[in-house]
Amino acid sequence: MHPRPSPVLVPAPRTPDAAWTRWGTWWLPLGPVLVACYATVMVLTILVLEPLAAMPGMTRAEIFAALAAAGVSVAGKVPFLVGWAALGVGLSVAGCAVALRGRVAPDTALAWQLAVLALGAPAYFWAAFDMGMDLADTFMITGGDHSAIPPVLYAVSGWALVALVALQIPRVVRWARARRA
């Protein structure tokens, strides 16, 4: 019995050079720029906006002093958060570099950037969990999101995931046609 073709191995009906001519490369740096903006907003939300929204009426210095008195080092969280954000930016830049060398098709390059943005939501949740719990334990509040920014980050990641799935529809159609042939 013949093995079924993989959807990943089904070639696009055009050559990569023709695809790059049609798509161009002007848009490739937008992926790392968007991911860097997302990462910056993520870090600022965790370190500045969420504590201020969780404890209205207190300054950032007062909040951090109360956290320090409870044994929480906010400064100790900064390297992890910056490194975590830099990982996403690095993945995006790597995908852009591979695409600029013409080693992948434009739709694959776009899919990579969308996947990195889509992974921003779980990355934010994981990175913010520790700080949220520290705020909750110190001030006896709920540990959830308190500012308006996290839903925006989740929405951006959600729309990136929807776009990623929509981008795969032509590939699945090609795979289904190749399977029938």
Query: pLDDT per residue over 20-66, tens digit each?
Result: 667 778 888 999 999 999 999 999 999 999 999 999 999 999 999 99
Contact between 110 and 166 under an 8 Å Cβ cutoff? The reply is no
Q: Which of 149, 108, 109 is nearest to 128 (CA)?
A: 149
- Locus of tokens 């320090």: 68
pLDDT band at 3 (very low <50, low <70, confident <90, very high): low
Neighbour tally for 96: CB within 10 Å: 21
For 12-20, which contacts have Cβ atoms below 8 Å and span 24 or more sequence positions? 12/105, 12/107, 12/171, 12/174, 13/174, 16/102, 16/104, 16/105, 17/102, 19/105, 19/106, 19/107, 20/102, 20/106
pLDDT band at 70 (very low <50, low <70, confident <90, very high): very high
> What global pTM score does this model have?
0.85
Neighbour tally for 133: CB within 10 Å: 12
Q: What is the DSSP letter of 2?
A: P
For 54-62, which contacts have Cβ atoms below 8 Å and span 24 or more sequence positions? 54/135, 54/139, 54/141, 54/146, 55/135, 55/139, 55/141
